Amino acid sequence: MASVERTAYPRFKRITSARELREFFTPSVEEVGWAAERTHHRPGRMLTLLVLLKSCGRLGHFPDLEQVPDAVTEQVLAVLALAPGVPLESGSSRSQERYRSWIRERIGLVRDPARAREVAAGAMEAAAPVRAHAADLVNVALEELVRARLELPGFSTLDRMAASVRARVEGEICAGIVGRMSEATLARIANLLVVPAGERCSGFDVMKEPGRRATWSRFRDHLIWGAGSLSGC
């Protein structure tokens, strides 16, 4: 499983800089007018709608209001010239969905979970043969989802998809390699796991032991050993 910190999945930073607040979380005059009209000038609802608008515009998905940094809320409050104590009003689930629908329409974001999974899966499938880590697959999927203007699925959804695609593709690659081996080659490979009598290590242990300081003689000796162990493969 990938760690969200190792991917490009959009999320709020622990500290939001003044530049980010200014560039990404400051509503324009037109946006304020739009929010005022939609919410009938009710301060708490205006604040909520604009916080969600700027957050979704930056992240590509809707965060829970509890996840929004205080600095972002305060930035919007300052633009609206509202009293510092005005709270965010999430309202009913119906109201929340109405806000989200307005915002998607305004910024051109499409909510289509099935299509988003299809696009993400296709991107991951194409990249899996050459990308070894689940985090890389998540990043590839994010690029395509953003390009398609699709609302991003939750990180856990993309993470599970990446793990599944990676396991299946790697299994197919391994099966393809094994399928091209002769019985004699398979026997030699299996024999690498056997610890010979009187020895402490298997051939596989010797093969994967940490490298020492590189010298030509060590490289030559290891090459000769490997050729002898896998002769006929």
- pLDDT for 84: 76
User: Of 57, 92, 107, which residue constitutes the final position of a domain?
Assistant: 107
Within 10 A of 25 (CB to CB), how many other CB atoms are there?
24
Domain that holds residue 80: 4-107
| 131 and 91 within one domain | no
DSSP, collapsed to helix, strand or coil, labels residue 110 as: strand
| 100 and 51 within one domain | yes
| 89 and 119 within one domain | no
| 175 and 117 within one domain | yes
- Residue 173 CA to residue 180 CA, distance in Å, equals 11
| 28 and 56 within one domain | yes
User: Of 107, 133, 155, which residue constitutes the final position of a domain?
Assistant: 107
| 140 and 57 within one domain | no
- pLDDT for 1: 66
Domain count, the chain: 3
| 168 and 150 within one domain | yes
| 144 and 81 within one domain | no
For residue 231, give both structure tokens: 């002769």
| 91 and 19 within one domain | yes
For residue 83, give both structure tokens: 């009293």
Question: What does pLDDT average to in each consecutive run of 10 residues of the chain (233 residues)?
Answer: 86 94 96 96 94 97 94 94 83 90 97 98 94 92 98 96 93 91 87 85 75 76 69 51
- Residue 155 CA to residue 124 CA, distance in Å, equals 14
| 101 and 20 within one domain | yes
| 158 and 81 within one domain | no
| 217 and 149 within one domain | no
For residue 90, give both structure tokens: 């999430």
Within 10 A of 165 (CB to CB), how many other CB atoms are there?
23
C-alpha of 166 from chain center: 14
